[in-house]
Chains A and B, each alone.
Chain A
């Protein structure tokens, strides 16, 4: 029942995108997201969608997986669209009772929906093709300059990688506890809101306890391996740029140039 959430889930396969340096993917995703919010005409969105389609194709991850991640934000998407559709002032097209659908609202709702969908799918491509460890490695390396300002880059990266690693574990655990309680006659589906909230107690209490237990065990295991934070720590597989990474940077640069031309930034 909880297997549908794909955010932070790695899809194992062999592809060019999988082999790229995580820094390229991180930078690319960031650039892509910025570009999404800068387009002023429909051509830009076509370009962004096309670019994403090519990347998905190259990544060999089935499109179904990306859409699965979308399901989680469907509700958010609907609210955004509804708000933009009905609450944007401008030239009214259709009037329903006190609500007006305006021409501006229609455009805004459309662009918002497209932006959000592309954003989610775009970042799913990154998480689906990069292992969490790789991702935080890349982040750590990219944020290295911030250490001058005493930002604990390594610690933050470590926390992120642990958090990401724990998502599937806790999901699995939730699924297990849920099943165990259902086997004891618990009902998570029927009843009003208060009843439903109350029904979550038998799920949340064991889940929190197990999360704390796991955190404690992990801290102990790290301690036992003499973990002392980032100072003087070396990597078993340091990140090194290859030829394909430079090619990817050039592709990204090209995408930037074309999107500036098409989207008239």
Chain B
């Protein structure tokens, strides 16, 4: 049970003078239950790559296997793939259309052809998982706040019960509190229901804190693919790509340069506190 990408290439506007590589020779394995962060500059191919994973875009070259089946086979059920690989787009609240929140969340499971009871059960379950207050279920989605709308939109995808959940910048435009809440709930989805999560983000802090593995993309290729601690050791190279490491990484490296023997692969604030206390404790 996994997604495997084998030498995937994608060319935008093929055959026109605007044609350019959006993805270049991507080879990737996504095992079950992992929390993966994808970072990269705007236009690095992150979103394009994500849309390949559920078959919305067809690769110009290369193959993608979902649970051992080639998704480009003519008899492969694309609809089933889309229910198994849920994709939450950037600003997903822009896709809301129903008269009330609950019906909107029902849209996905209803499209799967489930019976009414199962559809409603799934919708309730999904809304509960994203932590939306119950009194909002029958309100118009357009009257909610930005953060609430986003939860509804995420619930709309969750209600399809995907095995893999891809979120493209789920925290863009939210305030710090809303960001933490959404990310915490996403993390819970992974730990409680064993879902594979792919999180596309600009924010290094978000990525470093939650994910098990980071993919760094630049100009359509995957440059680094490793655990957060290892990735942020390349903070100088990341900066050249217009990215950065979490702020604590800079602090730790500055401490090392001034002669304090702290470890360099610290990526979150808690780890940093622990590491600094350890070093101070041992020097006494």
**Which residue numbers of A lie inside 8 Å of B, CB to CB?**
3, 13, 62, 64-65, 176-177, 179-187, 201-202, 205-206, 209-210
Contacts and interface: CB of A to CB of B under 8 A. Distances in A.
Given A180-B95, A184-B156, A202-B107, 6 more contacts: A177-B94, A179-B89, A181-B95, A181-B107, A184-B111, A184-B160
A206 B96 contact: yes
A176 B107 CA distance: 17
Contact of B51 (A65, A179, A210): A179
Given A62-B16, A62-B17, A202-B107, A182 B94 contact: no
Given A183-B87, A184-B160, A210 B16 contact: no
Interface string B43-64: 0000000010010100000000
A3 B112 CA distance: 28
Given A206-B94, A210-B94, A179 B107 contact: no
A201 B104 CA distance: 12
A183 B96 contact: no
A80 B48 CA distance: 41
A206 B15 CA distance: 32
Most chain A beta carbons < 10 A, residue from B15, B54, B94? B94
B157 A64 contact: no
Interface string B81-112: 01100110100101111000000000110011
Given A177-B95, A187-B111, A202-B107, A182 B83 contact: no
Contact of B157 (A65, A184, A186, A205): A184
Contacts of A3: 13
B17 A180 contact: no
Contacts of B97: 201-202, 205-206
A186 B15 CA distance: 30
A260 B111 CA distance: 62
Nearest to A202: B97
Given A177-B94, A205-B97, A206-B94, A183 B157 contact: yes
Contacts of A64: 15-16
Interface of B: 13, 15-17, 51, 54, 56, 79, 82-83, 86-87, 89, 92, 94-97, 107-108, 111-112, 142, 156-157, 160
Nearest to A203: B97
A176 B94 CA distance: 10
A65 B17 CA distance: 11
Contacts of B95: 177, 180-181, 184, 202, 206
B89 A180 contact: yes
B16 A185 contact: no
A185 B92 contact: no
A209 B51 contact: no
Contacts of A177: 94-95
A62 B142 CA distance: 44
B210 to A, nearest CB: 23
A184 B17 contact: no
Nearest to B86: A183
B89 A183 contact: yes
Nearest to B87: A183
A184 B111 CA distance: 7
A138 B16 CA distance: 29
Contact of B56 (A182, A185, A201): A182
A184 B108 contact: yes
Nearest to A205: B97
Contact of A209 (B87, B92, B108, B142): B142
A210 B82 CA distance: 25
A1 B15 CA distance: 16
Most chain A beta carbons < 10 A, residue from B15, B87, B112? B87
28 contacts: A3-B13, A13-B17, A64-B15, A65-B16, A176-B89, A180-B89, A180-B92, A180-B94, A182-B56, A182-B82, A183-B56, A183-B86, A184-B82, A184-B107, A184-B108, A184-B156, A184-B160, A185-B79, A185-B107, A185-B111, A186-B107, A186-B111, A187-B111, A201-B97, A206-B94, A206-B95, A206-B96, A209-B94
A13 B18 CA distance: 11
B89 A185 contact: no
Contacts of B160: 184-185
Most chain A beta carbons < 10 A, residue from B16, B51, B92? B16
Contacts of A183: 54, 56, 82, 86-87, 89, 157
Contacts of B86: 183
Among all A-B residue pairs, the 10 with the closest Cβ atoms? A185-B111, A205-B97, A184-B108, A180-B95, A183-B87, A180-B89, A202-B97, A179-B56, A206-B97, A206-B95
